[in-house]
Structures are given as C-alpha cells and as structure tokens.
Structure 1
Amino acid sequence: MLKNIILAASVLILSACTNTPDWDYDKSVEFANYKTFAWSADADLKNNGGNAYQINDLMEKRVRNAIIEAMLKHNIKLVEAKNADILVNYHASVDSKIEADSFNTSYTARWNYWGFGYQTQTHAREYDVGTLVIDVIDKTSNQLVWRGAKEGRLRNKQTPDQRTASVNKTVSAILGNFPPSQTH
C-alpha cells in the first residue's frame, strides 16, 4: 500500500514538473542593459548528454531559430560574439522515466465461500523525457546571470511542422521570464 502511494506521488510530481518552466537569475543584474546576444561556444544540443533520436542537427536549427525569435520579441538582436552584451548557451538531455498506474479492484464471491477482498493491478510504461536548458551569460563578466529550463515528454512519430511547433512552444515558455521582471 505504501509503495503504491509513493508511486502515485512520484507520478504527480513528475506531471507537475512538465507543465511549468523553472527559472533562476541574478537579482543584482540590470537586464534592461542587454540589447544584443551571440551564441556561446558551448551552445550545442549534442555536446551535453543529448544522445536521443530527436537530438540532431535538425532539432539544433529549430532551437536556435526559436531562441532568436523569442529574443527579438524583447528587442535583443543576434550579433557577432565580439559585439554581444550576452552569450546564450543551451543544452538538452533525455532521460527514461517510468509511469505506473495502479488499480484496486474488489470482489465479494469466491469458489465455495463468500468473502470480501482487494486486488491491486499495476501497469508500468517507460517513456522518454527531454529537458531543454537555456543559459544567459554576461559577456563582460563571463558569469551566468539567468537560467531557464523545461522538462517534457518526448513524442515520437511527429511531422517536421509538429516538431517545430513543439520547440517554439517550449522555448517561448522557457524565455517567458527573460528578461525577468525585477522587483527590488
């Protein structure tokens, strides 16, 4: 019984994590000063543990285009690294997770006698979860000033348009708090 409660709680926690991006930033930074960005030398989906089928050059291009589009909405333009105020780094990871469903069933009759009891059935499924992390680094100090991440279940058998829409939605959600609204 305790095992089933722990499994159910784990599934609920996992479900809660997939909907909301996670952000962190340096409150002492004046983000309004940032007008230009360039790619960090480390910005690459495949360099940081991205070894799943979906992490490839096509996905790399989608992520970069989505970041450029999201930054332009905040009037932050892509420029050469030597002219940039900030550097943007990103990476992805894919982990396998297990989802379990437990069902309690009751019965009232058995062969030769009447009784009452419970039977528990548990079904487990393995699936892939991808996490995309976007870092913003102050170019002058070379310090991380903002980080956003979002985790989500990876879907197979998507069209290129569906994959692009999914990446755009994820990047937009992650960068939804960049630059952060600061209240000192």
Structure 2
Amino acid sequence: MKLVKLLLLGCVVVIVAASCNTSQKIFVEHDYSYETNFKAYSTYAFLECERDTGNVCTEVYNAIHRQMQARGYRLTTNKPSLLVNYGIFYDNLRYQGYMQPVIKNWVDTEDDSFKYEPIRYSLDKGTIIVSLIDADTDQVVWRGYAAGIFKNPNAANNYYRNVVRTIFDQYPLFASGYDPRGGGGQSNGR
C-alpha cells in the first residue's frame, strides 16, 4: 500500500512538473550572424517594445533584463555595445530563419565554412521576438523567438519570464570579461 501511494505521488509530481514546462508548449529557435565577435559585448540598452501591449511588454522587458544580467551584461545609456529590441506579435507570423549550428559551438570555432541555410517558419499566434543589435553597426547579431505563447490561457504568474528564459537558453554566451563562476577573472566572453 505504501508503494502504491509513493508511485501515485511520483506520478502527480511528474504531471505537475510537465505542466509547468513552457518549452513543451511553445516553439523556440534562434538565428545569429557569422560576422559577429560575440566575445566583445559587455553592455546593453533597450529600444522601445514593438507593438506595446501594456503589461506583457513590461513583463518581457523585466525578464530580458534579468537574463542579460545573469550573463554579466550591464545596462547602460552611455555607449552600450548591444541594443535590445523585442516585439510581441499576436497573429500568425511567417518568418524566415536559418538552419545554423548551436551558437556556442560556432563561437568556440568561428568556422568560416558555415553558410546560412534559410528555413521558412509559420509561427503560431503569439510570438515574442528578441533581437540583439550591435550598437556600432546597427546590425542584428542574434535573434531569439518563441511562438505559440498564447496557447496556455491559464498561464502562471511567471509565464512570460519562463518564456523569455527559454528563448535565452538559446544564447548561452556571457559578457566580455564576465566570469560566471564569480572568480572575478576573465571568462573569454563565453
């Protein structure tokens, strides 16, 4: 009897954990520029939210800020190295992305033989697109996106924070000079 209760409790825990996992319910992908030295960025500033929808933009802004800080980037208005742009799109969206190696693998090798392989996506209603833009060149260097974010009408309090975290899971890079281990030394920008 004790074993049955323990198994039942285990099943409930698994079901609850699965229902909290946003990555199973949304499509997440990213694209980036092969022309970029990602190891050179350390600061950022925000551009205005595209298609401002009130609280959603504020929640997404705060979540992006949290993710950038976690990677060692500093928010500044004085000559940032990156500009952060983000938009929330309510309708279905046709989008051209690229089949690319995982960004960390490319940054580690900077293999010049990689080519852009276009891929067309039909993104479901409710898409967040986050773009990191080189402040000197105004070129998008990385773009992460999550589609189908409005599929869950009973979203938890931290739902958009979790969606943004899932997007930034695609950007495992750290700011130039930031050591994620807290040792205070250089991390080679990764």
Q: TM-score, normalised by structure 1?
A: 0.58
* 1:6-155 equivalences in 2 (<5 Å): 19-40=26-47, 43-46=48-51, 56-80=53-77, 82-95=78-91, 129-154=125-150, 155=152
Partner-residue secondary structure (3-state), 1:168: helix
Residues 92 and 130 of structure 1 are in contact (CA less than 8 Å); yes or no, is this contact kept in structure 2? yes
* Residues matched between the structures, number: 121
Q: TM-score, normalised by structure 2?
A: 0.56
Residue 66 of structure 1, CA deviation = 0.2
Code of the aligned partner of 1:85: S
Partner-residue secondary structure (3-state), 1:173: helix
Residues 18 and 150 of structure 1 are in contact (CA less than 8 Å); yes or no, is this contact kept in structure 2? no
- % identical equivalent positions: 26
Structure that is richer in strand per residue: 1
Partner-residue secondary structure (3-state), 1:84: coil
Residues 71 and 173 of structure 2 are in contact (CA less than 8 Å); yes or no, is this contact kept in structure 1? no
Q: Give 1 or 2 for the bigger CA radius of gyration.
A: 1
Question: Structure 2: how far apart are the matches of 1:146 and 1:86?
Answer: 10
Unmatched runs of 5 consecutive residues or more in structure 1: 1-15, 48-55, 98-127
Code of the aligned partner of 1:27: Y
Code of the aligned partner of 2:73: I
Q: 1:96 to 1:138 in 2, by over 3 A?
A: closer
* 1:169-184 equivalences in 2 (<5 Å): 169-178=162-171
Partner-residue secondary structure (3-state), 1:44: coil
Q: Deviation string for 1:142-171 (max 9, x for gaps)?
A: 11111111112413355xxx24x1111111
